[in-house]
Amino acid sequence: MTFELDKKNVLGKIDKSRKGEIDEDIQELVDLINSKEEYYTTSSCSGRIVVIEIPESGRKDESRWLLVKHAAVTVEEIKDSLKSDKDVWLKEEGMILHVCCKDIESAEKLVNLAKNSGFKRTGMISVNKRYVVEIISTENVSTILAKNGKIIVSDEYLASLVEECNKKLKKNKEKIDKFIYSFKNC
């Protein structure tokens, strides 16, 4: 199958993500990448703040999201989401983007653009059937808030965590904007 046909097939599929659509803060970047003949995106997340119930098994597919926002959160939102008898974690996760590239040269160009925009964790993750670049923001927070349903952090510490998560998410979004600018002007 040709790259062009792969691109048409992938971009024509229904979004199977949990959210069911591309995040607003990354839509422009995804559209920009997909408008170029040498690229297409296969998955994306603009970055998010999550409160998640993690079972003893630690399996992602058995976890339950209690709060998911792709924007700043408040301490009250976090507290309201802590209704569980399991272990509950707070996570701030930066942008992640997977892009198929037509050839090694276009992959290299994309890697360099992403790295120059601040996405240091960028690289090729596949070179077999197709060239896939993974772009990941390094901003992240991951900490436990409750153990077996009992909150184990103070209000003061929770407020500091929320402030840090919001700060990192803002920095992540600034890097997305820089990447869009760089991509438009290359």
Does 186 reside within a domain?
A: no
Lowest mean pLDDT among 7-11, 29-33, 108-112, 141-145: 7-11
Whether pLDDT at 20 is above 80: no
Does 97 reside within a domain?
A: yes
CATH number of the domain that residue 113 is part of: 3.30.1960.10
Does 152 reside within a domain?
A: yes
Query: How many structural domains comprise the chain?
Result: 1
Confidence of residue 153 (pLDDT cuts 50, 70, 90): very high
Does 101 reside within a domain?
A: yes
What tens digit of pLDDT does each residue of 55-109 get? 888 787 888 999 999 999 999 999 999 988 889 999 999 999 999 999 999 999 9
Does 185 reside within a domain?
A: no
- 162: amino acid identity, one letter: V
Does 43 reside within a domain?
A: yes
Cα–Cα distance list, 115 to 34, 135, 143 (Å): 19, 9, 27
Order of strands across the sheet with 48-54?
A: 64-69, 48-54, 87-93, 140-147, 150-151
Does 25 reside within a domain?
A: yes
Cα–Cα distance list, 164 to 35, 137, 149 (Å): 35, 15, 23
What are the phi and psi torsion angles at 169 (to 5°)? -65, -40
Mean pLDDT of 110-134: 92
Please state the pTM of the whole predicted model.
Answer: 0.88
Burial of 159-173, coded b for 16+ CB within 10 Å and e otherwise, reads: eebbeebbebbeebb
Does 57 reside within a domain?
A: yes
Give me the domain span that covers residue 33: 3-180
Helix (H, G, I), strand (E, B) or coil at 153: coil
Query: CB of 149 within 8 A of CB of 157?
Result: no
